[in-house]
Amino acid sequence: MRRPLLAALLSAVLAAVAVPAAADPIPDGPGKGLVPAYVGAPASPEPLAGRPVPANPHQGPVGTSSMHADSYASDTYPFMGPLGRDPQVLGEAKGGGLPGLCSTVTFARRTGLIVAQCTRGQNLTLRLIDPGTLKDLATYELPPRPSTVQAVFSLSLDTVFTDTSGGAYYYLDPQDRAVLADSAFHLRRFAHEKGPDGDWRFTVTDDWDLGAHLPHDCATWTNPWPKGECDPVTAVGPDWNGLIWWITRGGRVGTVDPGSGAVRMTRLAGEGIQNSFAAAENGVSVVSDHALYRMRAGADGTPEIVWRQPYDRGSGRKPGQIDQGSGTTPTFFGDGYVAVTDNADDRMHVIVRRGDDGGLVCQVPVFGSGASATDNSLVGYGRSLFVENNYGYRNFFDLPPGGSSVGGVSRVDVKPDGTGCETVWTSAERSPSTVSKVSVPAGLLYLYTKEPRKDLIDAWYLTAVDVHTGRTAYKVLTGTGKWFDNSWAPVTLGPDGTAYVGVVGGLVAVRDRE
């Protein structure tokens, strides 16, 4: 009985727009002709200073191979993004009449195609996409998440929106294979190839079953409330020695040796992990809902703690985060630094530590009193960090028509001598929930913004901000209505200069015509 109730809720939320079919443009909601299609002027490139992000030898090229662009989780790209020169907007529905949000977009070097993880209603799908047309070339259905079952039976959509498992945090290896952990506790490598019939397809080249190492008494349609523990993998990534690391929401951290298949694991007792992790030459950085860690693999591959530094996790979950704790994936940047944010009650802080020993470099408060939170990774390059304020956004269901987040985006720099940090600028732009990105050669920070409107029009814009001054260069309207809400999906820059945004309806691309 409860599944129809949830379906009715979905229908009510999306009733204001037409339902897109597969391989169709994403339909707009009301008011598109009443809002500007373009604001500002084309930008002139001015690169951001800093050393290039090094390439992890066991991951695809920098800027192409994961949600956060690279092994450092820098969220920066070594190629141009759109400069706003006569921009073209293209959208493609991916849900077949249901929400079809593309959470992660990566780029295969050999074929030039997009490999993406998207939803199709309750199901998760690996997709091979033509970057020019956004049409699907191949799909692979992934197991549904147990949280979907519990959301239906509890009538709590928050259960789904706070679940980061299922495969969004995957990566491409140097052979363009997607390395992904699914909700059935399997870690797999997926290759893509064109068959003799001329059709593209995904093939599983490797499969490691983690079920023997993790509690997996998970919700099913016939048993929605099992008595045991269910702790699926939320993120995977390689260290610089070739081990595949994985983490779970329940605080388990493990490795798989792809050569031998050996699995090793440790647990951060009493702590949870909701975000991904970063890997540098000297180890892996993980942030739990209590502390920031640097870890490395022991001789047998077991994750070991090098240092642990707690942070202020506040007194509860804020509107704008999915749990009580840091909302950021750790970011390596600059001269061996690692950065996260905390969850302090009054004002959130950007925290920078030395990667080698965990020593504190700075702890800088950002945004206004009583209204600061982020659930997105910091952008880090050179001495600079960029942080956005997601306070007030929970998910696309809860965001009222014409509403937005409190907003604010700041640049925080480490001082040249490494003795502290300073806030360089703060923009008032409202980027409710996106993982923002920086094009290093363009010197532009790309946001996905929405301003509050009394006429209740939901107008969504790809917005480019000058990294040097904090001034907005231009905005391009991607669409109006709930289907264009990105609901925590990132901006992704492609090697050809296109900006992609996963939205509730599917995938949007913005590219310069000139």
Q: Contact 389/367 with Cβ under 8 angstroms?
A: yes
pLDDT at 192 over 90: yes
pLDDT at 2 over 60: no
Rg (C-alpha) for the chain, rounded Å, is 21
- What's the Cα-to-Cα distance from 196 to each of 178, 179, 193, rounded to whole Å? 22, 25, 10
Residue 384: pLDDT band with limits 50, 70, 90: very high
Across the beta sheet with 114-120, the strand order is 102-107, 114-120, 123-129, 136-142
pLDDT at 161 over 70: yes
- The pLDDT, as a whole number, for residue 153 is 82
Residue 145: pLDDT band with limits 50, 70, 90: confident
pLDDT at 12 over 60: no
Assessment of whether the complete model's pTM goes beyond 0.85:
yes
Task: Tell me which residue of 83, 75, 31 sits closest to 53, measured CA to CA.
Answer: 75
Instruction: Report DSSP letters for 278-341, one per residue.
Output: EEETTEEEEE-SSEEEEEEE-TTS-EEEEEEEE----SS--BTBSSSS--S--EEETTTEEEEE
- The pLDDT, as a whole number, for residue 17 is 39
Tokens of 420: 């502290």
Residue 20: pLDDT band with limits 50, 70, 90: very low
Domain residue spans of the chain: 17-512
pLDDT at 16 over 60: no
Residue 355: pLDDT band with limits 50, 70, 90: very high
Mean pLDDT confidence for 81-87? 98
Residue 514: pLDDT band with limits 50, 70, 90: confident
Residue type for position 234? T
Question: Which H or E run contains 161?
Answer: helix 158-161
Task: Tell me which residue of 336, 332, 462, 343 sits closest to 391, measured CA to CA.
Answer: 343
Strands 178-181 and 136-142: unpaired
Report how far residue 200's alpha carbon sits from residue 126's, in angstroms, rounded to the nearest whole number.
13
Mean pLDDT confidence for 324-335? 96
- The pLDDT, as a whole number, for residue 139 is 97
- The pLDDT, as a whole number, for residue 395 is 86
- What's the Cα-to-Cα distance from 184 to each of 120, 122, 137, 189, 214, rounded to whole Å? 17, 15, 25, 14, 11
Model confidence over 29-78: pLDDT tens digits?
A: 999 999 999 999 999 999 999 999 999 999 999 999 999 999 999 999 99
Q: Contact 447/434 with Cβ under 8 angstroms?
A: yes
pLDDT at 154 over 90: no
Q: Contact 89/194 with Cβ under 8 angstroms?
A: no
> How large a percentage of the chain has pLDDT more than 90?
84
Residue 28: pLDDT band with limits 50, 70, 90: very high
Mean pLDDT confidence for 107-133? 94
Residue 95: pLDDT band with limits 50, 70, 90: confident
3-class SS of residue 379: strand
For the chain, what is the mean pLDDT?
Answer: 93
Strands 349-354 and 506-512: unpaired
Residue 147: pLDDT band with limits 50, 70, 90: confident
Model confidence over 253-292: pLDDT tens digits?
A: 999 999 999 999 999 999 999 899 999 999 999 999 999 9
Mean pLDDT confidence for 465-487? 98
Tokens of 202: 């995904």
- The pLDDT, as a whole number, for residue 21 is 42
- What's the Cα-to-Cα distance from 335 to each of 101, 332, 361, 369, rounded to whole Å? 36, 9, 11, 31
pLDDT at 6 over 50: no
Residue type for position 84? G
Model confidence over 283-322: pLDDT tens digits?
A: 999 999 999 999 999 999 999 999 999 999 999 998 878 8
Q: Helices 2-13 and 146-154 sit at what angle, rounded to 10 degrees?
A: 90
Q: Considering only the top CATH level, what class is 17-512?
A: mainly beta
More confident residue, 379 or 158: 379
Q: Which of 178-187, 328-337, 394-403, 413-422 shows the lowest mean pLDDT across its residues?
A: 394-403
Residue 352: pLDDT band with limits 50, 70, 90: very high
- The pLDDT, as a whole number, for residue 99 is 84
More confident residue, 123 or 370: 370
Tokens of 160: 């789904």
User: How many alpha carbons lie under 13 Å from residue 129 in its C-beta half-sphere?
Assistant: 30
Mean pLDDT confidence for 197-208? 97
Mean pLDDT confidence for 355-382? 97
Report how far residue 72's alpha carbon sits from residue 248's, in angstroms, rounded to the nearest whole number.
20
Report how far residue 393's alpha carbon sits from residue 381's, in angstroms, rounded to the nearest whole number.
27
Mean pLDDT confidence for 189-195? 97
Q: Is 73 left (phi over 0), alpha (psi -120 to 50) or beta?
A: left
Q: Contact 320/359 with Cβ under 8 angstroms?
A: no
Tokens of 72: 């450092």
Report how far residue 509's alpha carbon sits from residue 496's, in angstroms, rounded to the nearest whole number.
12
pLDDT at 3 over 60: no
Mean pLDDT confidence for 429-438? 97
pLDDT at 374 over 90: yes
Report how far residue 375's alpha carbon sits from residue 275's, in angstroms, rounded to the nearest whole number.
9
